[in-house]
Amino acid sequence: MFSVHIMQLMKRVQVIADGYVQRVGYRDFVQKETFCRDITGYVKNLDDGKVEIIAEGSEEELQAFVSRINITKYPINVTECNVSWQESKEEFKKFEIKRGDREEETFERLDYAGKMLYEILEFSKETLDVSKETRDISRETLEVSKETLDNSRVSLRLQNNMLDKQDQMIEIGKETKDEIAELRTSTGKYLDEEFKEIRKELVSIKDALARAGIKV
């Protein structure tokens, strides 16, 4: 059984990017987009303010690459991207940045560093504002928590008072029950004594009537 390997056709693409693409770190961004990808070639600044990219690789890889480098992301703003496809010449071993003279590159890096510093300062300011807002929210949350705790303490005190009242009512009920039981016992003894006396009197009356010749 034979295994067949289909080789992807290698292509070359030339991209001329226009817009805010010089002194904003665009070449570094383009090179980063080739990292760990089978793309070779170069990127360089042109004298008219544009940037040229020559890249070789598989057509699928290059199409995705062209899409990724056509961006608007501060401070980069690609306003126009002219793309032309060619046959691969396989003349590059890696993807690199072709830099100009030292003075030009120094000024470009200073410009880019200044823009990045501005971005960092703006981000720091936003972070500080968010931190301040978070601190205010935390303070409000703490106040609400304190108020909730105070309310809980009041509720607990009220519950304790209610439990004390219930205990008092239970104690009163118990005392009342004991008093009623004692009253019943005393009343029962009193009635028993009274019935005994009444019975004695009835017997005496019956005897008296019998002696008088009266039958009852």
142 is written with which tokens? Answer: 């703490």
**Cβ of 50: how many Cβ atoms within 10 Å?**
16
Pairing of strands 72-73, 76-87: antiparallel
Backbone dihedral angles phi then psi of residue 98, each to the nearest 5 degrees:
-90, 115
70 is written with which tokens? Answer: 């056509």
Backbone dihedral angles phi then psi of residue 105, each to the nearest 5 degrees:
-65, -35
Residue 49 per-residue DSSP state: S
* Longest Cα–Cα distance in the chain: 162
Are the CB atoms for 55 and 78 separated by under 8 Å?
A: no
64 is written with which tokens? Answer: 């995705």
**Alpha carbon distance 178, 46 (integer Å):** 110
* Catalytic-labelled residue, pool 12, 23, 37, 45: 45
* Catalytic-labelled residue, pool 27, 77, 157, 160: 27
Q: Is 27 part of the annotated catalytic residue set?
A: yes
Q: CA distances (Å), 54 to each of 42, 76, 105, in order?
A: 5, 19, 20
Q: Which residue numbers are catalytic?
A: 27, 45
